[in-house]
Structure 1
Amino acid sequence: MFIETERLIVQPLTLTQLKLYVANDGSLEKSLGVGYTPKEIEEDLADALENYFLRLLPLHLDQFHFYTLWAIILKDKNLLAGDLCFKGEPDENGEVEIGYGTYSEFQRLGIMKEAIAGLLKWCHDRHDISTVIAETETGNNASEKILERNGFHKDCQGRDNTWWKREVTDGVLK
């Protein structure tokens, strides 16, 4: 299973591949058949990997795509450029939350906008997803622009974070 856009392939990592991602030694890239992209795994992501993804993925193998990172592969360079994730399965109202990050050397190239657009199309084809939400840190203008360009609107704003929402119905954007 994967998503293909004009410039990208976006694919969910299996449990084995997720463990290789954590190793951060080029073994993931080798298993995917792409060139090595050194990456810094920031503290928040490292915590999520250890305490969320790696613990929950083995318990939800039938819905693994909601409990793993999705690798973003830049087709023309055959390199990893970032990753996306869901933060669990859709809830009873059909809401699902996403998170994302672009590796520093690939920022400001429209890669994440394109990856999220592809992920939204994937979500639209599912009967169990009606709303996609995302959270940004207040003042993270780049992340906010990515969401705005994908049709998200501000849902609520706190002191440190802003919540964004994108409605989908019957596979069609509202």
Structure 2
Amino acid sequence: MYVSSARLEWIPLTAPLIRLILTDRAEFAHVLGATVPANWPGEDFAPVLPLILSGFDREPHHEAWDGAILLVGEPPVLIGAMGLKGGPDEAGTVDLGYNILPAYQNHGYATEMARALIAWAFERGDVQKVIADCLPDNQGSIRVLQKAGLHELEPEDGMLRWSLSKQEWQATQL
């Protein structure tokens, strides 16, 4: 399963790919068929990789809900990661999270992939709502979430909260 947009491709981070990220970056880049910048996965996403991997270890057949974002080109370049934090909960809610390497920020990539990933999630049938959160001073994330169609909720625990229901998304697709 891949999600793509005009300039980007989202590659699911499966357990074998995560193991390669953690043990053999050159082989990871080879398997991915992309250039992997030295500063990826970065300090925000690197600690998440072992957590995702432990989820696969607990549930080996669990679907990958987190992925690498590739900027399409010759060769493709890994520019960040985006995911829906493990898939839908019992109510069909997924939590959107992402990071883009600094050199690729402010080009609309996060918004473009967020829209594509949200569309893919809602088309599946098991996702009813997308939520996200960010710090109040993270203007880049605020812009991404607004442009992706999420609306701001009441802040909680010092974080801005965002939401988009499947019904709200479908209304914008007409």
Report TM bin, short chain: 0.7 to 0.9
> Distance in 2 between the 1:170 and 1:162 partners?
19
The verdict on how the C-alpha distance between 1:173 and 1:120 changes in structure 2, with shifts beyond 3 A counting, is: farther
Distance 1:27 1:91, change over 3 A: same
Residue equivalent to 1:30: 30
Question: 1:15 is matched with which residue?
Answer: 15
Sort the Cα spacing of 1:113 and 1:170 in 2 relative to 1 into closer, same or farther, 3 A: closer
What is the DSSP-based 3-state SS (H/G/I as helix, E as strand, rest coil) of the residue aligned with 2:94?
A: strand
Q: What are the ranges of 5 or more consecutive residues in structure 2 without an aligned counterpart?
A: none
RMSD (CA atoms): 2.1
Please say if residues 124 and 170 of structure 1, whose CA atoms lie closer than 8 Å, have aligned partners that are also in contact.
Answer: no
Residue 109 (structure 1) aligns with: 107
Determine what percentage of the aligned residue pairs are the same residue.
Answer: 26
Residues 1:70 and 2:67 aligned together: yes
Equivalent residues in 2 for 1:135-150 (5 A)?
A: 135-150=133-148
Q: Is the 8 A contact 1:113 1:146 kept in 2?
A: yes
1:79 to 61, 74, 77: 77
| Letter paired with 2:89 | D
Q: TM-score, normalised by structure 1?
A: 0.88
Q: Does 1:5 align with 2:5?
A: yes
How many angstroms does 1:37 deviate by? Answer: 1.5
- State the distance in 2 between where 1:26 and 1:105 align: 21
Deviation at 1:170, TM superposition (A): 10
Structure 1 spans left out of the alignment, 5+ residues: none
Question: Which residue of structure 1 lines up, in the alignment, with residue 160 of structure 2?
Answer: 162
Match of 1:152 in 2: 150
Q: Which has the higher strand share?
A: 1
Deviation of residue 61 (structure 1)? Answer: 3.7
TM-score, reference length from structure 2: 0.88
Q: 1:26 to 1:137 in 2, by over 3 A?
A: farther
Whether the 8 Å CA contact 2:4–2:116 is kept in 1: the answer is yes
What amino acid sits opposite 2:46 in the alignment? A
Q: Secondary structure at the match of 2:48?
A: helix
Letter in 1 for 2:29: E
1:164 is displaced (CA, Å) by 0.6
Structure 1 window deviating more from structure 2 (90-99 vs 156-165): it is 156-165
Alignment partner for residue 86 of structure 2, among 78, 85, 88? Answer: 88
Secondary structure in 1 matching 2:119 = helix
CA drift of 1:116 comes to 0.5
Whether the aligned pair in 2 keeps the contact of 1:21 and 1:28 (CA below 8 Å) is yes
**Cα distance in 2 for residues equivalent to 1:65 and 1:36:** 20
